[in-house]
């Protein structure tokens, strides 16, 4: 790639910020560096994490999925409703997974077949999916089966919460899928230049469909973890998770224009967002200030991404515009 | 040929919106023969102004292939600041208040515009960030307290309660006059100024617009600034319409309704085509749907689903009509 053999890795930005985040958190409160506390707190970010892993595929393919939180909440509500009406846990979970894939595929179909821009389609389905959840449950909450609740309080030896393990294993699998398989190459290819990909025989529409279905699948997984963690489902849960997920992906070095990004970067950035949120939590920073911080972080993430892009293209004389 | 096609497309789409509107009215009227009476007409007429004022700015943005999802938060921030000014300075003139709201909105919009035009952040990402950031600022500025109804001056509430025209119990409120003013300004900008032509060029083909020497960045910046200014004005109108400003609910989720009105009104999400009358029709349709839902006995929990479906229907209509027209012109030529 680079004549000098030095390449600015997109993961560098979150990695450096993560170190700063830890130092700041440790200075803010002595409770922050307690590993048990950090591990316990991590479970509530696993749902965002799963969404962000799939969002990495979506963004690398040059699209965006604003409906992830709404898919999560719809699947969570349907699953809890089924369990409340007497369904056994395994069959309810199977329906949840199927529903998630279908919701994601609907997005994918509208985007790849009807050729509509992803941000408008998913903005609309963001409202539709949460709207259906609201119509389904109204202001009530639905309870999950007793045996299904509380996965987040179960640990592997060494106080490692089960959801964290699920997240890390999923990250590994999706990392291999994105960086080591043909499908992954295709995702990068359509994100870099869709027209060129199409003419080189890549089934662009199918790849996009697959990417959005994957996003739905991860939303279903997040929904099951959320149901288990909270024990109940409500239509207004998982509010604004799409913002955290998108922030994490962009902070992880993915280009919003597609064609660049990595699962490792997303995972590092997720830890950064989690550390920031936990840090702001122990420092008693109010929720509204947290909103401002995360919103600004998103903008900074894109800016730093653009900056890195410009730096690395400036080093390549051929890439002059 | 090209402009012919565009013209055909827009008349078709507006006709479609009118058909939808008639269908909604008919459905509501079949259920309740009193649907078209003064009370409901007044509710519809009061529902339109906020939507139309914000919708005009949003249309300009969408015409350039952009989107602004921060308008709801901009409304909230301008509304709460002006509301607090009214609370702390009892004698403040309402028109000065509206001007301050407009100015606050313009600053917030200019910030969006700067991020998008010069820092090259895609519109959906930039405004998603400021959607959160501006809403956070609403809570910070207001310390979480709402501006209560007795702090809103009577002169401001008067904009909602009274108006220049009253026919048989139906009031055309001053709020609606604001909406008409905003629409005329927008129509003038689009039809009579160079910036208006540039907006269409950028939306039709951004690369070609750049090559033709159109100041793309400047026009983009102006468009987001106007969008913010209208949203800021709408924040003050919100205070008039509802009589209070709550930091949590003022403008929250409004971006969705606005985008629904703009796209169902025939503004193409790919940019470059859309009209002021079309958007006004879209606002009328959404206002009618909103009042009709209540008449049909469908409660508030359905609202989000309905607005989302409206956007989806508009998108599918657009893509369907485009394909159909494409086939027609192929056969013709």
pLDDT at A20: 79
* CA–CA gap between residue A251 and residue A240 (Å, rounded): 17
Other C-beta atoms lying within 10 Å of the C-beta of residue B3: 7
Partner-chain contact B311 A117, CB within 8 Å: no
Residues of A with CB below 8 A from B301's CB? Answer: 134-135, 138-139
If one compares A319 and A111, the residue with the highest pLDDT of the two is A111
Across the range B74-81, mean pLDDT stands at 94
Which residues between 265 and 294 in chain A have a beta carbon less than 8 angstroms from any beta carbon of chain B? Answer: 286, 288-292, 294
**Chain B interface, mutation test: which of A62, A77, A127, most B Cβ atoms within 10 Å?**
A127
Q: Are A114 and A210 in contact (CB under 8 A)?
A: no
Q: Confirm or reject contact between B155 and chain A (CB < 8 A).
A: no
pLDDT tens digits, one per residue of B133-144: 898 899 889 888
B333 pLDDT above the threshold of 50? no
If one compares B54 and B301, the residue with the highest pLDDT of the two is B54
Selecting from A116, A125, A298 the residue whose C-beta is nearest the C-beta of B125 gives A298
pLDDT at B4: 63
Q: Are A116 and B269 in contact (CB under 8 A)?
A: yes
pLDDT at A1: 44
pLDDT tens digits, one per residue of B205-228: 888 888 888 899 999 999 999 999
Partner-chain contact A246 B126, CB within 8 Å: no
pLDDT tens digits, one per residue of A43-77: 888 999 999 999 999 999 999 999 999 999 999 99
pLDDT band at B328 (very low <50, low <70, confident <90, very high): low
Q: Confirm or reject contact between B118 and chain A (CB < 8 A).
A: no
A109 → chain B, closest CA residue: B316
pLDDT at A149: 81
* CA–CA gap between residue A303 and residue B4 (Å, rounded): 41
Query: Cβ contacts of residue A23 below 8 Å, gap of 6+?
Result: none
pLDDT at A251: 85
Q: Is residue A285 part of a domain?
A: yes
What residue numbers bound the domain in which A20 lies?
12-314
Q: Confirm or reject contact between A147 and chain B (CB < 8 A).
A: no
| C-alpha pair distances (Å), A97 with each of A94, B29, B289 | 5, 42, 34
Which of A241-250, B176-185, B231-240, B295-304 bottoms out in mean pLDDT, i.e. has the lowest? Answer: B295-304
Q: Confirm or reject contact between B163 and chain A (CB < 8 A).
A: no
pLDDT tens digits, one per residue of A128-162: 999 999 999 888 888 888 888 877 778 878 778 88
pLDDT tens digits, one per residue of B130-180: 998 898 899 889 888 888 888 888 888 888 788 788 887 788 888 889 999
Q: Is residue A70 part of a domain?
A: yes
Residue A171 three-state SS: helix
A2 pLDDT above the threshold of 70? no
Q: Is residue A7 part of a domain?
A: no
Question: Burial, A32: exposed, middle or buried (Cβ in 10 Å; 0-12, 13-18, 19+)?
Answer: buried
Across the range B222-251, mean pLDDT stands at 91
Across the range B281-309, mean pLDDT stands at 84
Q: Is residue A113 part of a domain?
A: yes
Residue A181 three-state SS: coil
- Tokens 């660049």 found at: A260
Q: Are B87 and B213 in contact (CB under 8 A)?
A: no
B7 pLDDT above the threshold of 80? no
Partner-chain contact B67 A134, CB within 8 Å: no
Greatest CA span in chain A, whole angstroms? 65
pLDDT band at B9 (very low <50, low <70, confident <90, very high): low
Partner-chain contact A295 B132, CB within 8 Å: yes
Residues of A with CB below 8 A from B249's CB? Answer: none
B297 pLDDT above the threshold of 80? no
Across the range A219-235, mean pLDDT stands at 91
Give A121 to chain B, closest Cα distance, Å.
7
pLDDT at A216: 96
Residues of A with CB below 8 A from B126's CB? Answer: 299, 302
- The set of long-range contacts for A301-305, using a CB threshold of 8 Å and a minimum separation of 24, is A301/A13, A301/A247, A301/A250, A301/A251, A301/A269, A302/A250, A302/A256, A302/B119, A302/B121, A302/B122, A302/B125, A302/B126, A303/B119, A303/B121, A304/A13, A305/A10, A305/A13, A305/A250, A305/A253, A305/A254, A305/A255, A305/A256
Taking the domain B2-328, which CATH number applies?
1.10.3470
Q: Is residue A3 part of a domain?
A: no
Residues of B with CB below 8 A from A120's CB? Answer: 67, 259, 263, 269, 311, 315
CA B23 to chain centre: 23
pLDDT tens digits, one per residue of A16-52: 878 877 787 777 777 777 777 778 878 888 999 999 9
pLDDT tens digits, one per residue of A87-97: 888 999 999 99
Give B154 to chain A, closest Cα distance, Å.
31
pLDDT at B273: 85
Partner-chain contact B308 A125, CB within 8 Å: yes
pLDDT at A222: 95
For CA atoms B234, B239, B245, B250, the dihedral sign is negative
Selecting from B122, B137, B304 the residue whose C-beta is nearest the C-beta of A130 gives B304
pLDDT band at A4 (very low <50, low <70, confident <90, very high): very low
Residues of A with CB below 8 A from B130's CB? Answer: 295, 299
Q: Is residue A1 part of a domain?
A: no
- Tokens 């604001």 found at: B178
Question: How many structural domains compose chain A?
Answer: 1
pLDDT > 90 fraction of chain B, expressed in percent and rounded: 33
Partner-chain contact A302 B125, CB within 8 Å: yes
B254 → chain A, closest CA residue: A127
Partner-chain contact A127 B304, CB within 8 Å: yes
**Chain B interface, mutation test: which of A73, A74, A119, A123, most B Cβ atoms within 10 Å?**
A123
Q: Is residue A5 part of a domain?
A: no
If one compares B91 and A83, the residue with the highest pLDDT of the two is A83
pLDDT at B172: 82
A287 → chain B, closest CA residue: B136
Q: Is residue A321 part of a domain?
A: no
- The overall average pLDDT reported for chain B is 86
Ranked by mean pLDDT, the top range of A32-46, A156-170, B317-331 is: A156-170
pLDDT > 90 fraction of chain A, expressed in percent and rounded: 40
Across the range B56-61, mean pLDDT stands at 95
Give A158 to chain B, closest Cα distance, Å.
37
pLDDT at A217: 96
Strand ranges (E), A30-182? 142-143, 155-156, 160-161
Nearest to B222 by CA among B198, B206, B205: B198
Q: Three-state SS across A17-58?
A: HHHHHHHHHHHHCCCCCCHHHHHHHHHHHHHHHHHHHHHHHH
pLDDT at A3: 45
B123 pLDDT above the threshold of 60? yes
Q: Residue A64 is encoded by which pair of tokens?
A: 């965006």
Residue B30 three-state SS: helix
A313 pLDDT above the threshold of 70? no
- Kindly write down the DSSP assignment for every residue of A233-295, as one continuous string: E-TT-STTHHHHHHHHHHHTT--TTSS---HHHHHHHHHHHHHHHHHHHHTT--HHHHHHHHH
Residues of A with CB below 8 A from B305's CB? Answer: 127-128, 131-132, 134-135
Nearest to B82 by CA among B73, B68, B92: B92
Q: Confirm or reject contact between B269 and chain A (CB < 8 A).
A: yes
What are the residue boundaries of the structural domains of chain B, listed by start?
A: 2-328
**Chain B interface, mutation test: which of A55, A62, A128, A240, most B Cβ atoms within 10 Å?**
A128
pLDDT at A319: 38
Nearest to B244 by CA among B76, B105, B98: B76
- The set of long-range contacts for B199-205, using a CB threshold of 8 Å and a minimum separation of 24, is B199/B60, B199/B63, B199/B64, B199/B223, B200/B63, B200/B272, B200/B273, B201/B272, B202/B64, B202/B65, B202/B271, B203/B62, B203/B63, B203/B64, B203/B65, B203/B270, B203/B271, B203/B272, B203/B273, B204/B271, B204/B272, B204/B273, B205/B272
| C-alpha pair distances (Å), B9 with each of A121, A257, A282 | 21, 30, 56
The 10 Å CB-count burial string (b at 16+, else e) for B108-131 is bbbbbbbbbbeebbbbbbbbbbbb
Q: What ipTM did this prediction achieve?
A: 0.82
- Kindly write down the DSSP assignment for every residue of B136-163, as one continuous string: HHHHHHHTT--B-GGGS-HHHHHHHH--
If one compares B294 and A49, the residue with the highest pLDDT of the two is A49
Q: Are A213 and A105 in contact (CB under 8 A)?
A: yes
Partner-chain contact A134 B304, CB within 8 Å: yes
B302 → chain A, closest CA residue: A135
Partner-chain contact B125 A250, CB within 8 Å: yes
pLDDT > 70 fraction of chain B, expressed in percent and rounded: 93
pLDDT at A75: 96
CATH number for the domain spanning A58: value is 1.10.3470
Count CA within 13 A, CB hemisphere, residue B192: 6
pLDDT at A284: 77
């Amino acid at each position: 790639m680079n004549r000098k053999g030095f390449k600015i890795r997109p993961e560098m930005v979150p990695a450096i910020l993560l170190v700063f985040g830890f130092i700041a958190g440790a200075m803010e409160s002595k409770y922050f560096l307690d590993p048990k506390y950090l591990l316990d707190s991590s479970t509530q970010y696993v749902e965002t994490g799963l969404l962000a892993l799939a969002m990495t595929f979506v963004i690398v393919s040059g699209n965006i999925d604003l409906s992830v939180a709404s898919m999560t909440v719809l699947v969570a509500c349907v699953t809890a409703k089924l369990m409340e009406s007497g369904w056994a846990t395994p069959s309810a979970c199977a329906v949840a997974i199927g529903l998630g894939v279908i919701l994601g595929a609907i997005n994918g179909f509208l985007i790849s077949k009807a050729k509509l821009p992803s941000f408008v389609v998913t903005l609309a389905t963001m409202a539709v999916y949460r709207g259906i959840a609201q119509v389904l449950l109204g202001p009530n909450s639905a309870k999950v089966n007793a045996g299904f609740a509380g996965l987040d309080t179960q640990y592997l030896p060494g106080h490692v919460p089960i959801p964290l393990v699920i997240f890390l294993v999923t990250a590994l699998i999706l990392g291999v899928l994105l960086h080591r398989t043909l499908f992954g190459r295709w995702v990068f290819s359509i994100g870099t230049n869709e027209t060129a990909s199409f003419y080189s025989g890549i089934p662009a529409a199918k790849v996009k469909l697959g990417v959005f279905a994957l996003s739905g699948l991860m939303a279903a997984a997040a929904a099951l973890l959320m149901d288990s963690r909270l024990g109940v489902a409500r239509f207004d849960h998982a509010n604004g998770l799409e913002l955290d997920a998108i922030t994490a992906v962009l902070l992880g070095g993915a280009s919003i224009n597609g064609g660049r990004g990595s699962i490792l970067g997303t995972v590092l950035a997720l830890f950064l967002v989690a550390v920031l949120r936990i840090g702001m939590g122990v420092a008693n920073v109010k929720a509204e200030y947290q909103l401002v911080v995360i919103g600004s972080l998103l903008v900074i993430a894109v800016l730093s991404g653009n900056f890195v892009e410009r730096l690395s293209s400036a080093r390549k004389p051929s890439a002059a515009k | 040929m090209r402009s012919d096609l565009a013209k055909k497309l827009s008349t078709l789409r507006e006709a479609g919106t009118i058909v939808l509107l008639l269908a909604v009215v008919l459905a509501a009227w079949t259920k309740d023969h009193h649907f078209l009476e003064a009370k409901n007409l007044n509710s519809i007429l009061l529902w339109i102004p906020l939507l139309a004022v914000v919708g005009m700015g949003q249309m300009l943005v969408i015409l350039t292939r952009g989107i602004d999802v921060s308008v709801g938060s901009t409304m909230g921030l301008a509304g709460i600041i002006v509301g607090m000014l009214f609370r702390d300075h009892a004698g403040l003139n309402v028109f000065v208040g509206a001007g301050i709201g407009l100015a606050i909105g313009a600053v917030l919009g200019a910030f969006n515009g700067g991020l998008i035009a010069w820092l090259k952040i895609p519109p959906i990402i930039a405004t998603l960030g400021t959607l959160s950031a501006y809403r956070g600022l609403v809570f910070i500025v207001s310390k979480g307290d709402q501006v209560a109804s007795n702090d809103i001056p009577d002169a401001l509430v008067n904009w909602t309660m009274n108006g220049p025209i009253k026919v048989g119990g139906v009031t055309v409120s001053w709020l609606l006059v604001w909406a008409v003013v905003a629409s005329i300004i927008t129509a003038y900008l689009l039809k009579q100024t160079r910036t208006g032509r540039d907006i269409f060029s950028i939306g039709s083909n951004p690369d070609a617009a750049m090559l033709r020497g159109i100041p793309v960045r400047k026009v983009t910046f102006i468009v987001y600034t106007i969008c913010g200014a209208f949203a800021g004005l709408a924040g003050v109108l919100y205070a008039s319409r509802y009589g209070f400003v709550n930091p949590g609910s003022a403008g929250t989720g409004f971006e969705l309704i606005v985008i629904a009105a703009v796209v169902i009104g025939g503004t193409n999400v790919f940019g470059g085509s859309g009209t002021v009358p079309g958007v006004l029709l879209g606002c009328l349709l959404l206002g009618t749907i909103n009042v009709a839902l209540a008449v049909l006995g469908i409660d508030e929990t359905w609202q989000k689903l309905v607005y989302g479906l409206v956007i989806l229907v508009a998108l599918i209509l657009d893509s369907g009509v485009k394909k159909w027209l494409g086939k027609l012109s192929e056969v013709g030529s």
